[in-house]
Structure 1
Amino acid sequence: MAFSVLILGTTSFLGKNLAEWINNKYLVSSVSLRNPDWKKNLENYKVFINLIGKAHDHNKTATEEDFYHVNVDLTKNIFDAFIRSEAKIFIHISSLAALEEFESLKPLTEDDSCNPNSWYGKSKREAEKWLLEQSLPENKKLIILRPPMVHGPGDKGNLGLLYKLISRGIPYPLSSFENNRSFISIDNFCFFIDEIIKSEEKLDSGIYHISDDELISTNQIINIIKKVEKKNTPSLSLPKFFVKGLAKLGDVLPIPLNSLRLKKMTSDLTVSNQKIKSALGIEKLPLTAEEGLIKTIKSFKKEK
């Protein structure tokens, strides 16, 4: 008989896709934390999945307290409800930003030192630390997942902005920078969580990185967009010294590019998913990094 899974954050991009992915395998429910009685009737679930988090500040109005309230305080409330319930597994979605947000010299592992920079990254790391400090009953398990950028149909993040640029025939100006990044498609994200639910006895409580198997560069993403769109948009290979000088100018003047943004767009930021794959016995993910990106970009094309 299928057991019950409680997803917190089903209205989010991740939540909608995950609920749809596992809906035919488990009895999936959700609650709204806006309901003051949300902690009632939680005794029949085996798994809690916490997808609630604040990552974006599109209106530039959020405060540091806003990030800590959502990413830390609400996590504490949800975990307390889990401890009081009969549920056995608490899956908490953290972020690579809790570890590193800009650059890595090698694929990052779960043992690397944390260097969060933004309010988002710091609040996500604070939640991780608090969770790891809590005493767990012997029959309960805590799994903290750190994904890099998750993309897929319905994604409204930076990948969509890059798609708009290239699909409109606007040249990408930073092709002289070669970088490698880790991403994860929504299909692979949901696959990992499904595998954790099915085989949680193979995992010890702790932090795990999830990502696509292959690294991919911004220039590769641009080529995939061009392929899907059937466009021959040229790429501008501006000299690096010129771009870096322009970015330094942006540090003091209100132009779209500054040194921090340039670093985020052009540096390597990669992670290793070997720990969780080895623990769960996963040899191959449903989609390669390129297949996942093609699926996402085709969804952008349909939305045009």
Structure 2
Amino acid sequence: MRILLTGATGFLGIRLSTSLAKLERFELYCSMRKPGPCAAGRAIVTGELGANTDFKSALENVSVVIHSAARAHVMNDHVVDPLLEYRRVNVAGTLSLARQAAEAGVKRFIFVSSVKVNGELSNERAPFSPKDSPAPEDAYGISKWEAEQGLKAIAKQSGMEVVIVRPPLVYGPGVKGNLARMVKLVRKGVPLPLGSIHNKRSLVAVDNLVDFIVTCIDHPAAANQVFMISDGHDISTSELLRELGKAMGMPARLVPIPAGLLMFGASLLGKRDVAHRLLGSLQVDISDTEALLGWKPAVSMQDGLRRCFTSENGF
């Protein structure tokens, strides 16, 4: 079975290509923006992802497309119109690829979306599920939701199967962003005012996400479904910092400050969004995922965090 993977040089794509290349039943092709090495598989240069990107040669004899390429969530975005830029890549680029895939006879299109389609915080409500009405708040989440809607329309018109995966925060060796910042602070022994945070956050180890996507390649029950995915173990910010400390072999220095006081201070400093990510809850319900596909997370959160520091590509 020939597979085309986009985003093959990204954080997720590198792990996906490496895993897929080890499975003899798959012939892997990797879409690349520019000439260069890829972790595994045969590289095909297709250029920047957009409405006019030509994937014709890359899609020849392809059975499954795994689309992980995207304009990712950008902190401190300086473009004039962030939503326009996200739509250019994540919506127009994705739907152009999907239309070309359908015309080429691709059987299944796996789209790596985001939990941000559901919303930013679950807080006092039930964990997010695929049955919830989407409520994206930022430009990235809106672009992913619009892409999902377009993909469903293409699937209905063409008969190509579409599988949508909505991961929460993905972590693993070499991950950047907020988790990398936490690691840096714990490693420096900086006292953190997060010892009394009792929120709940769902995370997913990159190894679990890769394993799930591989399952979706040819599982009959995955066709035309939307899946929530996580490690199956929710954790508070305080617990996460302690687990990171254990994985590093050093304690996290946490000071117990009430969450309400922290939120008030963050609001005064114009950092309310940052505070929501640290103090708020974002849980996902993977019970339907487990029941429909018979899938279970292969890696525990503790092992996933340890791998962040034992891998040669780790922190």
TM-score normalized with structure 1 length: 0.89
**1:157 paired residue among 177, 193, 204:** 177
Q: Give yes or no for contact 1:215–1:289 (8 Å, CA) kept in 2.
A: no
Tell me the residue number matched to 2:280: 267
Q: Within 1, Cα distance between the matches of 2:4 and 2:151?
A: 18
The number of aligned residues is 293
Aligned position for 1:255: none
Preserved CA contact (<8 Å) 1:71 1:124: yes
* CA distance in 1 between partners of 2:57 and 2:247 (Å): 48
Distance in 1, matches of 2:243 and 2:20, equals 29
Q: 1:191 aligns with which of 202, 208, 211?
A: 211
Paired-residue identity, %: 29
2:63 equivalent in structure 1: 46
Instruction: Please name the residue that 2:11 is paired with.
Output: 13
The change in CA–CA distance for 1:234 and 1:40 in structure 2 (over 3 A counts) is closer
Which residue matches 2:200? 180
Residue-by-residue CA offset, 1:185-216 (whole Å, 9 max, x unaligned): 011001111111242x1223131111111112
Say if 1:221 and 1:293, in contact at 8 Å, map to a contact too: no
* Range 290-299 or range 89-98, more displaced: 290-299
Q: Is the 8 A contact 1:110 1:208 kept in 2?
A: yes
8 Å CA contact 1:7–1:49 kept in 2: the answer is yes
Which residue of 1 is the match for residue 101 of structure 2?
82
Matches within 5 A, 1:213-224: 213-224=232-243
In 2, the alpha carbon distance for the partners of 1:270 and 1:81 equals 35
Query: CA 1:233–1:280 in 2, change beyond 3 Å: closer, same or farther?
Result: closer
Distance 1:103 1:135, change over 3 A: closer
Q: Could you tell me how far apart the structure 1 residues matched to 2:241 and 2:311 are?
A: 16
Amino acid in the other structure paired with 1:6: L
Go from structure 1 to structure 2 and tell me whether the alpha carbon gap of 1:119 and 1:37 turns closer, same or farther (over 3 Å shift). Answer: closer
- Partners of 1:162 and 1:240 in 2: how far apart? 18
Q: What is the CA distance between 1:44 and its match in structure 2?
A: 0.8
Q: CA deviation at 1:163?
A: 0.3
Q: Greater relative contact order (Cα 8 A, min sep 6): structure 1 or 2?
A: 1
With over 3 angstroms needed to count, the CA separation of the structure-2 counterparts of 1:240 and 1:208, relative to structure 1, is closer
Distance in structure 2 (CA, Å) of the matches to 1:240 and 1:130: 40
Q: C-alpha distance in 2, partners of 1:281/1:259?
A: 39
Backbone CA RMSD of aligned residues? 2.0
Residues 299 and 56 of structure 1: is their aligned pair in 2 closer, same or farther, counting only changes over 3 Å? farther
Q: 1:41 to 1:248 in 2, by over 3 A?
A: closer
| Counterparts in 2 of 1:233 and 1:211: CA distance versus 1, 3 Å | closer
Distance 1:137 1:126 in 2: 17
Q: Is the 8 A contact 1:51 1:92 kept in 2?
A: yes
> In structure 1, what is the Cα distance between the partners aligned to 2:197 and 2:104?
51
TM-score where L is the length of structure 2: 0.86
2:37 alignment counterpart: none
Candidates 110, 116, 131, aligned match of 1:97: 116
Alignment map for 1:1-304 (pairs within 5 Å)? 3-25=1-23, 26-32=26-32, 33-34=46-47, 37-58=54-75, 60-62=77-79, 63-104=82-123, 105-136=125-156, 140-199=160-219, 201-251=220-270, 258-282=271-295, 284-299=296-311
Contact 1:89/1:141 (<8 A) preserved: yes
Please say if residues 93 and 144 of structure 1, whose CA atoms lie closer than 8 Å, have aligned partners that are also in contact.
yes
Pairwise CA distance, 1:128: 1.0
Alpha-carbon separation, structure 2, partners of 1:250 and 1:225: 27
Deviation at 1:38, TM superposition (A): 3.3
Unaligned runs of 5+ in 1: 252-257
